[in-house]
Structure 1
Amino acid sequence: MMRSIAEIDERIRRGEATVLTAEEVRGLAEEGAVGELQDVDVVTTATRAVMSGTYAVLSFGFAEKGSFTRAVSARINGVPAHVGPCPNERMGHIDLIVFGTAHRDGRYGGGHLFRDLVAGRSVCVDVETSDGRSISRDITLDEIPHARIFGTRHAFMNYSAFVNTGSDALSTIFHAIPFPPAMSGASFSGCGILNPLQNNPLLEAIGIGTRVLINGAEGFVIGTGTRSTSERPNLSGFADMHQMMPEFMGGFVTSAGPECITSWGVPVPVLSRHVLDAAVLPERSIPMPVMDIRTRSTLWTADYAQVWQDVDLAVHVRPDSCRDCRDCIAERRCPMGAIERPVRINRSLCFNCGLCSVLCPDVFRARLGSIRSPDGLDIPVTLRQSDRLRAARLAEMLKKRILDGSFRISACVERLSP
């Protein structure tokens, strides 16, 4: 039996549709309340993670017409931007592309800049012209009529966990501190049962033109991303920055430099038995490859239940236990700059990565889970590069918007192929 998106959309319009988050579907399935195609119409999924393949395209009037011939280089808040592709000769207009991983000093990068813009903060644009002059001005997102964020490879169908088998710590984008050696700790990415493509592994309900939420703004899938394969597909898409929400964005400082946080909310219409079977798959059945950070080779395969079941999604703070150290390692190493004095966590910035609970367990507490090796070794998670707490909020927000009619599911114009 197959259903169409038009059929499901009509059920939503009539107020008859059953729309559930991916977590709700699993819960009902365990109770035996979901087993047939007609039991659920749409599953809302989401992921919030460090996603390197992110860039912004910005186009705006920068100066008076005729004031300069062309821009040859630019920086925004010190972050390098690429000028082009349109020369805009003597128009006073500039087109800029900013990579999410570009940065000015190792602590502030494209991800930080994108969030600052969406939060309404003024940023400084510095331009070098073709005749050797420097022009600067402050600007806000409201003054940038064209501002879009694109993803080149986002929302992998679950990513990987990483361990360091070497004898020395290693600086890497997969940890906020030099990666602990001798398999003494692990990092991982992927939101398990919430992950969009985990709920649609055959790509039959998500395609080119599928309407999604990117950082809370309506956007569209434009294809599969780079390095997408049939075994591990990912998505490429875009959305308008003007409608984005800062809580779903940000910069994440790793031991190898700043990275970019992006969030996706994706509706998965239950079109077939294949989609339903994927939507009710328990977390313990979702594979999580464990890779050696040095060789990027897979050592074994664990599962996402080991890192997302019986854990704390947020970090708990015990301020009475703080010794007010002059050099607070948790504050200094926090990849989001979310720890403040007197000791507290700025929840609007916190990514729930859990690193502070590893560095200062007396003050910061969180069960992060562990990854079991084939020989029975439990390797503690020392960093999460996915934020399941906010991903769950995004999936719930998408559900509510579908039900109240403010978000319409859309049929794709073409099926995706890895």
Structure 2
Amino acid sequence: MRSIAEINDKIERRQAVVRTVEEVKAQVAEVGIAQTAKEVDVVTTGTFEPMESSGAILNLGQTDPPIKIRQCWIDGVPAYAGFGAVDLYLGASQAVEYSGTTDLNDIEEVREGAEARVRQRGGGHVIEELIAGRSVPLRAVGQVTDCYPRASFETTISQNTINQFYLFNPRNLYQNFIVGVNGGDRALFTYLGPLQPRLGNAVYSNPGAISPLLNDPDLELVGIGTRVFLGGAIGYVAWEGTQHFPLQKRLPNRTPIGPAATLALVGNAKYMNPKWVRGCYLRGYGPSLMLGVGIPLPVLTEAVIAHCSVQDQDLVAPVVDFSIPRRVRPTFGLVSYAQLKSGKLIIDGKSVRVAPLASIYLSRQVATELKHWIEQGAFMLTEPVASIPNDRTFIPQDMRGS
């Protein structure tokens, strides 16, 4: 029907017709797939959910005399320093080790008492602080060499006092995920949040029918180089995500019945907005990062609209019992996202209350903000330079021989 170049031309002339994916679903219900495909140029999708496999690359610039950093703490959170001399990677789920005002000599003492206190701060919170333009303390220990004679370094940094500050996220945008429950006798604290005993609650993390990759189930539109909304700024798909599993079983509508495709994303954090990048803490589990991500889907064919017309009742996720401490846990079967969003499930004859870990409200806002960017000509679409692989299997460690 149309090409990305033709759509971009319309975006430049402010003539592109852009709809959020919810608006498209409503339009399809009213006028059908074919008519909607004729009228709409771009569909915007969005999600705002925890994405703990995220982090930031920082380059500090060299000191005088120079330092080769081997250990580093940013506001008390360890940053990885195992590559360039002043290149760092701050993981979103890395837990704080000490107060930003604690002397380095006291770190061992702090570690010894760490189990006695709840630490609700981590790398995601520091990333949020930096994106908000605030200053944070940094302390580093160096490996002394002839070319890097400095042994330690202490300063305060902000996004304006360092060279590079960008998110590089190994795994974002799970195409689908699981529903967590707890059939055991004690409360469990998981990456889905607290799960109450004896099926006291259920938690899901994917926003369902508005989620980006559920509307492009075979990743025909999204590839390496695709421009996306990432944390309130422009980002890009850099590679397949870790644990990318496109061979997951699928329904006839091509949507997966559990965790499937993932994407690695990259974007300049100096342009991001803390509204869309928020550190969070999951009780008893640890820190993470709430992240807003939106993907524009160009309407190249009617099939694009057909995929985008999928509704919550057409999507399913497995209900997984976390009380069994195994990699492969038993399930209570599949439930639709329509059932999940009703706030109640019936499991083994028992009514179980349900809550989302994702913010459905903010997920909708991501799609709406991306729509406005495109309508204003501030966001152009990109042609992928390569496809995301569709043949990756999932390799668990315990399947290997000794």
Interval containing the TM-score (normalised by the shorter chain)? 0.7 to 0.9
SS of residue matched to 1:171: strand
TM-score w.r.t. length of structure 2: 0.82
SS of residue matched to 1:203: coil
- Structure with the greater relative contact order (CA < 8 A, sep ≥ 6): 1 or 2? 2
Q: Which residue of structure 1 aligns with residue 142 of structure 2?
A: 129
Which digits, 9 at most, give the CA deviation of each residue in 1:310-367, with x for residues without a partner?
xxxxxxxxxxxxxxxxxxxxxxxxxxxxxxxxxxxxxxxxxxxxxxxxxxxxxxxxxx
Q: CA 1:58 to 1:196, structure 2 compared with 1: closer, same or farther past 3 Å?
A: same
Q: Which residue of structure 2 aligns with residue 58 of structure 1?
A: 58
Q: Which residue of structure 1 aligns with residue 29 of structure 2?
A: 30
Aligned residues: CA RMSD: 1.8
Q: Which residue of structure 2 aligns with residue 392 of structure 1?
A: 364
SS of residue matched to 2:60: strand
Q: Which residue of structure 2 aligns with residue 330 of structure 1?
A: none
Aligned residues: 346
Q: Which residue of structure 2 aligns with residue 356 of structure 1?
A: none
Deviation at 1:4, TM superposition (A): 2.3
Deviation at 1:3, TM superposition (A): 3.7
Q: Which residue of structure 2 aligns with residue 354 of structure 1?
A: none
For 1:107, which of 88, 103, 120 is the aligned residue?
120
1:307 corresponds to 2:340: yes
Which digits, 9 at most, give the CA deviation of each residue in 1:166-201, with x for residues without a partner?
1222222221x4x21111101110111211101101
Segment of structure 1 superposing worse, 189-198 or 383-392: 383-392
One-letter amino acid of the structure 1 residue matched with residue 63 of structure 2: A
2:33, 2:306 within 8 Å by CA — same for their partners in 1? no
One-letter amino acid of the structure 2 residue matched with residue 43 of structure 1: V
SS of residue matched to 1:158: coil
Distance in 2 of aligned mates of 1:386 and 1:169: 21
For 1:380, which of 340, 353, 365 is the aligned residue?
353
Deviation at 1:62, TM superposition (A): 5.1
1:283, 1:304 within 8 Å by CA — same for their partners in 2? yes
Q: Which residue of structure 2 aligns with residue 314 of structure 1?
A: none
Q: Which residue of structure 2 aligns with residue 161 of structure 1?
A: 179
Identity %: 32
For 1:120, which of 109, 129, 133 is the aligned residue?
133
Q: Which residue of structure 1 aligns with residue 20 of structure 2?
A: 21
TM-score w.r.t. length of structure 1: 0.79
Q: Which residue of structure 2 aligns with residue 48 of structure 1?
A: 48
Distance in 2 of aligned mates of 1:62 and 1:305: 54
Instruction: For 1:329-344, list aligned pairs within 5 A.
Output: none
1:302, 1:372 within 8 Å by CA — same for their partners in 2? no
Instruction: For 1:15-414, list aligned pairs within 5 A.
Output: 15-32=14-31, 34-36=33-35, 37-61=37-61, 63-64=63-64, 67-87=65-85, 94-104=86-96, 106-131=119-144, 133-175=151-193, 177=194, 179-230=195-246, 231=248, 232-254=260-282, 255-293=284-322, 294=324, 295=326, 296-308=329-341, 369-373=343-347, 375-381=348-354, 383-414=355-386
SS of residue matched to 2:187: coil
Q: CA 1:10 to 1:183, structure 2 compared with 1: closer, same or farther past 3 Å?
A: same
Distance in 1 of aligned mates of 2:220 and 2:299: 10
One-letter amino acid of the structure 2 residue matched with residue 387 of structure 1: S
Runs of 5+ consecutive residues of structure 1 not aligned to the other structure: 88-93, 310-368
1:417 corresponds to 2:368: no
1:46, 1:391 within 8 Å by CA — same for their partners in 2? yes
Deviation at 1:85, TM superposition (A): 1.1
Segment of structure 1 superposing worse, 386-395 or 15-24: 15-24
One-letter amino acid of the structure 2 residue matched with residue 379 of structure 1: V
SS of residue matched to 2:295: strand
One-letter amino acid of the structure 2 residue matched with residue 100 of structure 1: A
Deviation at 1:53, TM superposition (A): 0.8
